[in-house]
Chain A
């Protein structure tokens, strides 16, 4: 079955440290890939997307993600985390249907 996996439920990083959030997918072909961020009690905001081409994509708020076909991964990175980055992060994948398939999310805590 097609699936999206975010292996880390919670991640804690220190402010100023680098960040990498993992996302793996299980699909027959290369799907479209997305990362969203959600602040508490809010809707989801699109950070970045990958359709084709350059496998390193830049997004808003200083985030980037790299698509690795051989590993079926689309990991989200940020060189230096700010306290305001504390939020829930969701990886999403398009499939053959009409809507995106979301992972269960990774909760990011940023410590001083």
Chain B
């Protein structure tokens, strides 16, 4: 069966520091991968998606970037965090685009 791992679960970082959140999927190949950010009362905002290695599409221009160095690995990064980057970040995968997505447990990021 397929599983998705996302870490760390919580992270407190100072403003201006770098960020790296990692997500890996097991039990499938060539998954579609997604990064979402969730703010209270605002639902899920799609940040990035990837349909293959090295293929990244950005939905919202911002202080974040994503990379997919391996088929089942998806990384969310920032060179310098802003206070506004605080939030709950969710990684997800789907077998084909635009179908049900399966989510990781999320990372609570607090920028101080």
Which residue numbers of A lie inside 8 Å of B, CB to CB? Answer: 9, 32, 34, 36, 41-46, 49, 90, 94-95, 97-100, 102-105
Contacts and interface: CB of A to CB of B under 8 A. Distances in A.
A104 B100 contact: no
Contact of B101 (A97, A99, A103): A99
Nearest to B45: A102
B98 interface: yes
Contacts of B6: 43
Interface string B86-109: 000010100001111111111010
Nearest to A48: B100
B24 interface: no
Given A94-B99, A104-B41, A41 B106 contact: yes
Nearest to B50: A98
B49 A99 contact: yes
B19 interface: no
B90 A49 contact: no
Contacts of B103: 36, 43-45
Given A42-B106, A43-B104, A90 B44 contact: yes
A11 to B, nearest CB: 14
